Every structure is written in structure tokens, then in C-alpha cells.
Amino acid sequence: MDEGDWLVERFEAHRPRLHAVAHRMLGSAAEADDAMQEAWLRLSRSGAEGVEGVENMGGWLTTIVARVCLDLLRSRRSRREEPIGEHLPEPVSDADPEHQALMADSVGLALLVVLDTLTPTERLAFVLHDMFDVPFDQIAPVIERSPAAARQLASRARRRVRAAGPNPGSDPARQREVVTAFLAASRGGDFAALVALLDPDVALRTDPDGVRLGAPEEILGAHAVASVFIEYGHGARPALLAGLAGAVWAPGGRLRVAYVFTVTGGAITAIDRVANPERLRDLEPVIPDD
């Protein structure tokens, strides 16, 4: 077996896990494919001599993919071209059982939105450690920090994810009940009912397309968020978004904005206002007839 074949064999043996890492880091299967291609180019340039003495090939390749993803995340952030949570996780191919197992609990909509609010280093530390059990002493060189600093980044990211993410055991029926009550209170101008349905630390976040339409990027707190829906909520129509209860603003029948609700423990903990056309299509909104 020549050097090229040997490298290909090693890379392909770890491809399912590496692609899963890239997918969760970037939130898009297409971008994960690009990251895998770049990682292979870096590996092939190093040649077989570059991996001599590597005892943990899987960990070593994970580090290469992580560095590629970190570069892509930093580039994305500096260009500010990506709306928050633009990419939804694509379905996993049935042809790859190992990949399917790795991605069986693939990033959901609410978690993906939260991940997109993290800094690149926070996201890398959290994804690698909490989702793939990569030790902090292996993460540290990738982000050029100490293991203690990597641990702190992951901890900070974890707190944000837990605060904003959905309850894993949440009932879609309960989520629908809470959102329906919230929209009814909004249309009826019942400020007290709105506040009662909102978590005290609720966040209403708007993607860059929505900000360009004039909406604030972030509004925090139950009273502030309730005030927004008292003033503007009468125009929101109930809808199904990615199969869950939500709302849309569709003046003249043209879909302009979607509201994605995160419900935890019977209270609304986050509302994401989405105006990006591509992501609106990805949400596959179903708007009942009046």
C-alpha cells in the first residue's frame, strides 16, 4: 500500500465521527462537507511522515477538523454574513448506520439557535467536550488557550445552552398549549397573562435580516418582551414551524417574519424572530386558514 492509499484508509475509517463533529460545529451538512475536504487537504499535504508516531489517530484527526471549523466560524463571524441559526440540521443518510447513530440526537432548532450565539471558541469547547468527550488538554491547543481556560469556555457555553435550550423531556402538546395561550393573550391585550407565561429572564432575539427591518437585536426580561407583543402581537398569526407551535407575520399573505418559541417547564424562555428568507423556508411554516 502506497502512502496516499494509507492516508485515505486512515481518514475514511474516521470519517463518520469527523463529519459529525464538523456538522455540529458548523450547523450545516454542506459546510461540514467543505470542512472535511479542507481537513483532507491539510492531511494529504502533511503526508505519512506527518502522522508518524501518532498514537490516537482519531483524536489527531478530530483536532485537524476542529481547527478547520474554528477558522470557518471565525470567518463567518467577521463577515457577519450568517443570520443567527440560518442552517437547520439536514437529515442523516440511511446508508451510513454509524453516522446515523452518531447523529441520532442531532442538533435541534432551539439548540442550534443558541449555539450560533456563542463565540467560536465557546462553541468549539462546548461541542468537542460535551458532545464528543474530547478532553480539555486536547481542546486547549486548538483554541490556543490553557486547559483551564478551555474548561471555563465550555462551562460558560453550557450555562447559556441550559438557560436557553428546551427541556429534553418537554411535551409538544404542552408547548403548543403555552404558545397558543400566549398568542391569545397578545391579541387580547392581556399584559398580566403574557408576563405570567414568560420566564422572568426570557430573551426575544432577532436575526440580522429582522434587525435590518428595524427590530432590536435582543430584548430581555418578561415585562419588556410582553410590551413588544402587546404593541405588535395582534399581527402575529398562529402557525406550525418545524412541526412546533409558533407564529408568523404575513401582511397581505406574504410571509415576512416567523416567531420560534422555546418552552421550558411551562414557561416561554426564548423567542427567536426570524426574517431570513432561506431560514423561513427551512422552517416549513404551516399557517392554518382563518
| pLDDT tens track for 143-181 | 999 999 999 998 888 877 766 554 444 567 778 888 989
Query: How many CB atoms are located within 10 Å of the residue 180 CB?
Result: 13
- Residue type at 10 in one-letter notation: R
Q: Which CATH number fits domain 172-282: 1.10.600.10, 3.10.450.50, 3.40.640.10, 3.40.50.1860?
A: 3.10.450.50
Q: Kindly report the average pLDDT of the chain as a whole number.
A: 78
Q: What is the pLDDT, as a whole number, of residue 70? A: 92
Average of per-residue pLDDT across 213-224: 88
Q: Which residue has the higher pLDDT, 27 or 48?
A: 27
Q: What angle do CA 16, 20, 22 make, to 5 degrees?
A: 120
Going edge to edge, which strands form the sheet with 257-264?
218-220, 198-206, 267-274, 257-264, 244-249, 237-241
| Closest residue by Cα to residue 276 from 187, 193, 183, 213 | 213
The structural domains of the chain, with segments of one domain joined by +, span 3-164, 172-282
For 188, residues 6+ apart whose C-beta sits below 8 A from its C-beta are: none
Assign 27 a pLDDT band (cuts: 50, 70, 90).
Answer: confident
Q: Which residue has the higher pLDDT, 238 or 172?
A: 238
Q: How far is CA 45 from the centre of its chain?
A: 32
Phi-psi region of 254 (alpha: psi -120 to 50; beta: other; left: phi over 0): beta
The pLDDT > 90 percentage for the chain reads 20
Quote the pTM value: 0.50
The CA distance from 275 to 67, in Å, is 31
